[in-house]
Structure 1
């Protein structure tokens, strides 16, 4: 598996638009490297936002991470794109089953089998659901449903048996990362520093609901520096330094700090772009000093 991961990683690095991102993310998931798998699949979906297989893979990763609402959204998104996607149908069935809604689980699995009568995973899952004592979840099934997929019987089974990885530590919270933006407004909510691989180095980004979305944003932004460099190269306009995106509620500034390291700054839409750029320059200075101290 390690050799396959290296091979697919090299292929994806050579062609970032390749669809091999799904296979790579799935291998990383089976190896227990779920945070890396999440970054890979989010980056891939950023390039292929209508790729049902990508959302199916995202659902499996999020189910492994215990993020049931996010997994449900991913599988439903896959079904919006491809209503007969077998993996997504088995995925939503898993969630219905885990929540004790055997009727909807059966409906989803029967749909999967109607689409593909040779889908053995769906067939075994259907037998599991129908055999779970009065259409409900028995004690053993309940415990099984609490184990991250693919350990749940049938419904989330992978083509190959998954390894039993050591538990992964949770992603660092904004407050536990290097305080390099201390003193700047939004130091752990509106400023994010990431490396070329899409790993969060410092700062933090909160969503509209107040939850930390740093890792997801970083995964989506992985490779942006390289893409911007290639684009400016094609146009023959020199090296890039800053990208500004204006949305309804905020202005986003992306700035390269060192080669590959990227800074994201979010400012309220009411703040003039010029001031947002000046603020981003201060944050970039702080990031550059910290990276220099790290030997980056």
Structure 2
């Protein structure tokens, strides 16, 4: 989305405050969710849905909020409403693919992915999910570890911090610039592969609402990992750490990854 079409948190808040019928509450709720303010995000969505009960994106966003709160059943209820209102809602279909893969329900994931492929056959996320399914949930080959010269920026970080499961540096279009996924973490890589796809999509989604410069970072929790998404200029670094890693250690990993990403990008002629 072009810079001129993005709206700041202040602009969205002002619009919602001045016009109770505005649908900007969806964008504002997504921004608060990205910042970790789940209570405020949930209240915004619930209040907005009282005025706009059939707003598809509001139900989808409320599902994302419930999932972030650990209330998966409530999230599934909201996404069920989305599919009743809009059976071709691609993001909901792909979210269900991710959930089914996370739970090891390959047949359900395959069926949902096939539905998604009929909706948007050219969406690049489909190929990533299809690759996971076709390889029996093996993680995608880390781009940069197959002889193309990438994959070394974050290598020392993974060695120094055993709780690091994977790191991606992604550009504004969602393309991977650099990546590192330690081989010894194979026991969790299957689920982590789907989490990283979701985190990339989430980074793009939030970027479409707000200028990335306004975000300090956001956290995506899953069964297999804690993923922290942080802007580095117009790009994004995604750090996956074990869920049992102490918060202080995780913060150090994220900060170090950010420093490495910034240094690497500053030396690139892009």
CA change 1:139–1:68 in 2 (3 A) is farther
Q: Say whether 1:35 aligns with 2:39.
A: yes
- Give the match for residue 140 of structure 1: 188
Q: Which runs of 5+ in 1 are unaligned?
A: 146-150, 168-296
Q: Which runs of 5+ in 2 are unaligned?
A: 1-6, 140-185, 207-216, 222-270
CA change 1:8–1:65 in 2 (3 A) is same
- Give the match for residue 153 of structure 1: 196
- Give the match for residue 218 of structure 1: none
TM-score calculated relative to the size of structure 1: 0.47
- Per the TM alignment, residue 160 of structure 1 is displaced from its structure 2 partner at its CA by 2.8
- Give the match for residue 111 of structure 1: 115
SS in 2 for 1:113: helix
Q: Say whether 1:126 aligns with 2:130.
A: yes
The 2-side partners of 1:8 and 1:107 are apart by 38
- Per the TM alignment, residue 82 of structure 1 is displaced from its structure 2 partner at its CA by 0.4
- Give the match for residue 70 of structure 1: 74
Asked if structure 2 preserves the Cα contact closer than 8 Å seen for 1:68 and 1:95, the reply is no
The 2-side partners of 1:161 and 1:13 are apart by 23
- Per the TM alignment, residue 10 of structure 1 is displaced from its structure 2 partner at its CA by 0.6
Larger Rg: 1
Q: Tell me the alpha carbon deviations over residues 192-236 of structure 1, each in whole angstroms, 9 at most, x when there is no partner.
A: xxxxxxxxxxxxxxxxxxxxxxxxxxxxxxxxxxxxxxxxxxxxx
Asked if structure 2 preserves the Cα contact closer than 8 Å seen for 1:93 and 1:106, the reply is yes
SS in 1 for 2:195: coil
Taking only aligned residues, the RMSD between alpha carbons, in angstroms, comes to: 3.0
Match of 1:81 among 67, 73, 85: 85
The 2-side partners of 1:10 and 1:4 are apart by 10
CA change 1:94–1:21 in 2 (3 A) is same
